[in-house]
């Protein structure tokens, strides 16, 4: 099985070298064995694990959730209920963020569309920002 340097692993996984070091420092990746010249070396299992982490991050999972998912992946005989629960919680968070962003978009769209493009003293954008009562929704 070929051994990869940290640079080769970074290129293969599509991450930067400091990211690999960070994942090692927080325990998501196990500490890599070192050569006699103190260079880190990685095998295919480390590359798979790093790709898993990168993909989970791309999907927006936080580090703690990734740690739990990796623990589950390390013991494939477990039931997947916990992985499913983590994903469902993450999905609910995403849907909540989308709803908040859609409300913000509507608010800013209305603010911009109602602007008369005159002078600042009659600018609807400034008026809305200065007084929350002019907003469509409560977005605190």
> What would the mean pLDDT of 117-129 be, rounded to a whole number?
76
pLDDT (0 to 100) of residue 124: 72
Q: What is the DSSP letter of 40?
A: B
Whole-angstrom Cα distance, residue 137 to residue 119?
A: 26
Report the length, in residues, of the chain. 140
Positive or negative, the CA dihedral 87, 89, 95, 97 is negative
At 50-82, the pLDDT tens digits run 999 999 999 999 999 999 999 999 999 999 999
Report how far apart the first and last C-alpha atoms of the chain are (Å, whole number).
Answer: 55
Would you state the structure tokens that stand for residue 31, as one six-digit string? 């500490």
Provide the token pair at 32. Answer: 């890599």
Q: Please give the pLDDT value at position 140.
A: 60
Q: What is the CA radius of gyration of the chain?
A: 24
pLDDT for the residue numbered 67: 97
* DSSP 8-state secondary structure symbol assigned to residue 35: -
Contact 29, 20 (CB under 8 A): yes
| Nearest to 122, CA basis, from 136, 130, 133, 135 | 130
Confidence bin at 112 (pLDDT 50/70/90): confident
Query: What percent of the chain has a predicted confidence (pLDDT) above 70?
Result: 95
Q: Is pLDDT above 90 for 136?
A: no
């Amino acid at each position: 099985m070929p051994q990869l340097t940290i640079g080769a692993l970074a290129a293969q996984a599509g991450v930067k070298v400091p990211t690999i070091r960070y994942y090692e420092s927080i325990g998501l990746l196990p500490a890599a064995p070192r050569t006699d010249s103190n260079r880190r070396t990685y095998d295919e299992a480390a590359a798979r694990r790093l790709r898993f982490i990168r993909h989970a991050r791309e999907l927006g999972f936080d580090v703690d959730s990734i740690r739990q998912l990796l623990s589950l992946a390390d013991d494939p005989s477990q039931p997947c209920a916990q992985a499913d629960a983590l994903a469902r919680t993450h999905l609910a968070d995403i849907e909540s963020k989308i709803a908040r962003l859609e409300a913000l978009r509507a608010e800013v769209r209305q603010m911009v569309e109602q602007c008369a493009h005159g002078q600042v003293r009659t600018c609807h954008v400034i008026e809305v920002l200065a007084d929350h009562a002019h907003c469509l929704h409560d977005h605190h």
